A = this chain, B = another copy of it.
Amino acid sequence: MDHPAFCNSLAAIVGSANALTAPADMAPYLTDWRDRYEGKAWAVARPGDTTQVAAVMRLCQDFKVNVVPQGGNTGLCGAATPDNGRNLVLRLDRMNRIRDFDDVDAVLTVEAGCVLATIQEEAATRGYLFPMSLGAEGSCQIGGNIATNAGGTAVLRYGPMRDLVLGLEVVLADGSICDWLTPLRKNTTGYDLRQLFVGAEGTLGVITAACLKVFPSPVQRESAMVALADVEAALALLKHLRGQIGERLLSFEIMNKAQVDIVLEHMPGITWPMAQPTPWCVLIEVTDTLRSYDLRATLEALLGEALEAGIIDDAVLPASHQQQEALWRLRHNVSEANKRAGYGVSHDTAVPLRHQASFARRVAEGVERDFPDAQLLMVGHIGDGNIHAVIMLDPERYAAPGALNAAAAAINTLVDEATLSLGGTISAEHGIGQTNKARLIRGRGAADIRRMQAVKRALDPDGRMNPGKVFDLGAD
């Protein structure tokens, strides 16, 4: 009779409208965005403030219920989908208040359930920029962005989510509230425990609020689409630009022709801006807060030099804001296009920049050898060393039971071997969740997983925070 008692107590804390227990009400929160996982829960709770989160955590402690924090449920690795145990899904969506803004400190304090796009708009309204930008920004929530150390298209200049977080408010499994909500940029008073929760995918505690860095709004913004022959050329261009325009370089995104074609095929209204197709292209964005010189002319001149030096084959600078947006739609629609295109085994690799070209070549050779019918898409934030290899399989060719999974596993091995032999990581920005758990041992090694388990036990001794995600707790 634990379950009814739990649900009654939960309703008493968050209100019965926010304690979902009917299967139909819970269903949307028990599967992931890509429909790869499905789990079970005793209830889905939608607390309205941090005090309620703490009370819910204590309730779960009393009833030995595990807690699965869930933001916008847009993750790609199943980290926010419960397993089949005794779970509470903790939806943060009602905690969506902007708590504070200070324009001397240039800090925005927000609750975890704020949608990323809302935060971008809030900053813009006040004349500042919140630079985190990614495909799901219209529905992902900042708590999830922090818990997965999100990346996106502005990492090159502003860093990943970790670099944008100044303060955090976290509730631990025992219901204690860690008030680290500070706008301070410097604080050297022992261990920076906040850092553990960034990228922990909810396995150490629930992020309930954050102080975020905002930046002076750029007044000049220029983009360019560049056609080039290969990854080597992209890196030569990156070096050429970086040396002169430095941190003005906001985005440097690469796509191969197969990826561009998938977007053009599946997303109506998106067009290719050049007369000719190209084996590879790079989408560049540069910005500046200073008005007193011409950024467009600077970018044009640098690309002209690259063209003369034979580094690039062609470049298009959009003439209007609308044309600029159109270029970016091509990039931002990649995830949706790939989802529509069929079954993709998608990778989130980072390797050192110096090894990007080797990585692309090895994966292409391996896929051609072992999966000649597959299509290899390459897209990513190559300026950050992060390239997504997506291997599209035709599900009809893998109709036998288990065939698709076996193919995916073989592809993972192939890509992981290339990644790790080049000093890379199997997950640059998507995280581990459920999808990559078995592969984590390849990247981190057994000793490192034991260290993570020890840290997990220090902060969540009963192992009730998002169990079965990232790694399993050992017997130790």
Counting CB contacts under 8 A, is A198 at the interface?
A: yes
Q: Which of A337-371 contact B (CB under 8 A)?
A: 350-354
- A465: min CB distance to chain B, Å: 12
- A130: min CB distance to chain B, Å: 15
**A184-B104 contact given A189-B432, A195-B196, A289-B244, CB 8 Å threshold:** no
Q: Contact between A216 and B242 (Cβ–Cβ < 8 Å)?
A: yes
Interface string of A231-250 (1 = CB under 8 A from B): 00001001100111111100
- A101: min CB distance to chain B, Å: 11
Query: How many copies of this chain does the complex contain?
Result: 2
Q: Which bucket holds chain A's interface residue count?
A: 35 or more
Q: Contact between A184 and B455 (Cβ–Cβ < 8 Å)?
A: no
Counting CB contacts under 8 A, is A335 at the interface?
A: no
Q: Contact between B191 and A200 (Cβ–Cβ < 8 Å)?
A: yes
Q: Which of A175-228 contact B (CB under 8 A)?
A: 176, 178, 182-193, 195-196, 198-200, 204, 215-216, 218
**A352-B176 contact given A185-B384, A245-B289, CB 8 Å threshold:** no
Chain B residues whose C-beta falls within 8 Å of the C-beta of A449 in the assembled complex: 190
Complex formed: what's the CA distance from A187 to B420 in Å? 13
Chain B residues whose C-beta falls within 8 Å of the C-beta of A94 in the assembled complex: none
- A128: min CB distance to chain B, Å: 9
Q: Among B184, B190, B288, B386, which residue has its beta carbon within 8 angstroms of that of A186?
A: B386
Q: Contact between B243 and A385 (Cβ–Cβ < 8 Å)?
A: no
Complex formed: what's the CA distance from A426 to B191 in Å? 14
Q: Among B216, B429, B430, B455, which residue has its beta carbon within 8 angstroms of that of A191?
A: B455
Q: Contact between A454 and B459 (Cβ–Cβ < 8 Å)?
A: yes
**A454-B458 contact given A162-B192, A188-B429, A191-B196, CB 8 Å threshold:** yes
Counting CB contacts under 8 A, is A470 at the interface?
A: yes
Q: Among B127, B424, B454, which residue has its beta carbon within 8 angstroms of that of A184?
A: B424
Q: Contact between B350 and A427 (Cβ–Cβ < 8 Å)?
A: no
Q: Contact between B443 and A186 (Cβ–Cβ < 8 Å)?
A: no
- A244: min CB distance to chain B, Å: 6
Counting CB contacts under 8 A, is A103 at the interface?
A: yes
Residue of B nearest to A457 (CB): B458
Counting CB contacts under 8 A, is A298 at the interface?
A: yes
Chain B residues whose C-beta falls within 8 Å of the C-beta of A448 in the assembled complex: 178, 190, 193
> Which residues does A use to contact B, with CB under 8 Å?
102-107, 127, 148-149, 151, 155, 159-160, 162-163, 176, 178, 182-193, 195-196, 198-200, 204, 215-216, 218, 235, 238-239, 242-248, 288-293, 298, 301, 350-354, 381, 384-386, 423-432, 436, 440, 443-444, 447-449, 451-452, 454-459, 470-471
